[in-house]
Amino acid sequence: MTRPTVCLDVGSGWVKALGIDGDGEPTGCAQHLTTPHDLLEGVLAAATAVGLDGPLTPRRGVEADAELLACSSAGGGLRLAVVGHDRLASTEAGFRVARSAGARVVHVHAGLLEPAGVRALRSSRPDVVLLLDGADAAAEGILLRNAARLARARVRAPIVLAVHIPVRADALALLKATGRTVLATDTVLRSGGEIVAEPARAAVTELLAGHLVGGRGTATTARFRRLARQATPGAVRRGAVELVRARGSGGGAVLVIDVGSSTTDVYSVLPPPGPADEPEVSWSTAEADLGMRPTSGGILTEGQAEGLLDPVEADLLSPAVERLAEETDFVPTDPGGRAEDRRLAALASVLAARRHLRVAGQQLVDAGVGLVVLTGGVFRQPDQNGMEAVRRTLRTDPVLRGLLEHCPMAVDDGFALAPAGLLASRGRTKAARTVLDAAIAPDAG
């Protein structure tokens, strides 16, 4: 028997808390609005609701009766600004780099950066700047001048420098001379109009992990980072691994779809080749344009582009989307509002799963999906008929049908995956399994 534990997942919209007794049994879960100006206020409120008494400190697990484990995605998705040579090519490159990397494009500048362009860039409040060149000699000259301008400008966001090798060293030296944080990668814009987004996307994904832990604009970032040292995606991935371990080598892959306020994340974990082998985390993707609150407009835009909903339904959902985007703490309580919320979540799930499948490719198809887990506050509703409609939307989607048509699905309505991952990372695998068993019950498929 160990001390009781409180597991916390601090999201951009909500703080979720799960209490666990000394035997590893869940004792209850609670949630509280994330408080952006002082993250610890919301954290303390949620933790107190599941039985944590006294002050909240990073050393609590040493000094108190209860152990505190926390992860965070409070920073939300990345805001990506693109600076390039040609507007059309730069815009397309930016969207391809941002997709599935937890970023969304908020600004595109083409050509030479003048003072007005720098001001426009700063006003977009980017979390990362993607600096591109082009395929001709003129683009290289503009790149170097833009690098020099960014080096002097009051734009402190990290810079992903995705340019050709001949000019990369000079651009990197200009940016590093003023202490800029720079990740240099292969060029995105290749000759013949080819766009190769993967190297720059990997750099953006690397920046996302650190960004998620802190809260944008919070006054308690340093204290909070000492408390929540792990990004939520890492905890959820580890929880999914424990779920695959419990199912064994013959259970097929586990696909987790996590619909959050700012992003929709998808994880796939392949089963182990044999009983004595370890599961393999194959892929994780994050879609920053498919969140349920500030970025919910992207669900309608992408849903129409992918043929998931027609303009009439998009118009009907638009008032709900506008309210959700403006009132990020709004939670529908009437049946109609909850139905709209679930419909948006179902669309986000399908869109994110389609993108994930494009990244994962044939290896996931060959392994087969043995279980889909839906997680996120929008799914923790008592309306079973409504949740069946969400499952049906996934199973009958033309792109996903072959993979999911007869696949069992479960709802993480007890907030289990992230806590299981936090527990497992501390070596408490038995407690992690207990949490998962108590909260995740698949349907018959």
- The whole-model pTM stands at 0.92
Residue 82, CA distances (Å) to 91, 99, 251, 281, 440 in order: 7, 14, 43, 31, 41
- Each residue's pLDDT tens digit, 305-350: 999 999 999 999 999 999 999 998 888 999 999 999 999 999 999 9
Count CB neighbours of 190 within 10 A. 12
Count CB neighbours of 347 within 10 A. 25
Among the listed residues 143, 199, 193, the one whose alpha carbon sits nearest the alpha carbon of residue 168? 143
- Each residue's pLDDT tens digit, 7-47: 999 998 899 999 998 888 899 889 888 887 778 888 888 98
Higher-pLDDT residue of 249, 365: 365
At residue 62, the pLDDT reads 37
Exposed (0-12), middle (13-18) or buried (19+): which is 220, by Cβ within 10 Å? middle
At residue 56, the pLDDT reads 55
Higher-pLDDT residue of 166, 381: 166
In total, the chain counts a number of residues equal to: 445
CA distance 430 to 97: 39
Beta-sheet pairing, 78-84 with 103-110: parallel
End-to-end Cα distance, the chain: 37
Residue 29, CA distances (Å) to 10, 20, 49, 395, 441 in order: 13, 9, 8, 29, 17
φ/ψ of 32, rounded to 5, equals -145, 150
pLDDT at 420 over 60: yes
Q: How many helices (H) and strands (E) does the chain have?
A: 17, 15
pLDDT at 188 over 70: yes
At residue 61, the pLDDT reads 41
At residue 6, the pLDDT reads 92
- Each residue's pLDDT tens digit, 269-289: 998 887 777 787 789 999 999
Please answer whether residues 400 and 354 qualify as being in contact, where contact means their C-beta atoms are separated by less than 8 angstroms: yes
**CB-facing half-sphere around the CA of 259: CA atoms within 13 A:** 28
pLDDT at 66 over 90: no
Q: Residue 300's pLDDT band (boundaries 50, 70, 90)?
A: very high
Residue 168, CA distances (Å) to 176, 186, 203, 251, 411 in order: 12, 9, 15, 47, 47
- Each residue's pLDDT tens digit, 192-247: 889 999 999 999 999 998 888 865 555 456 677 778 878 999 999 999 999 999 88
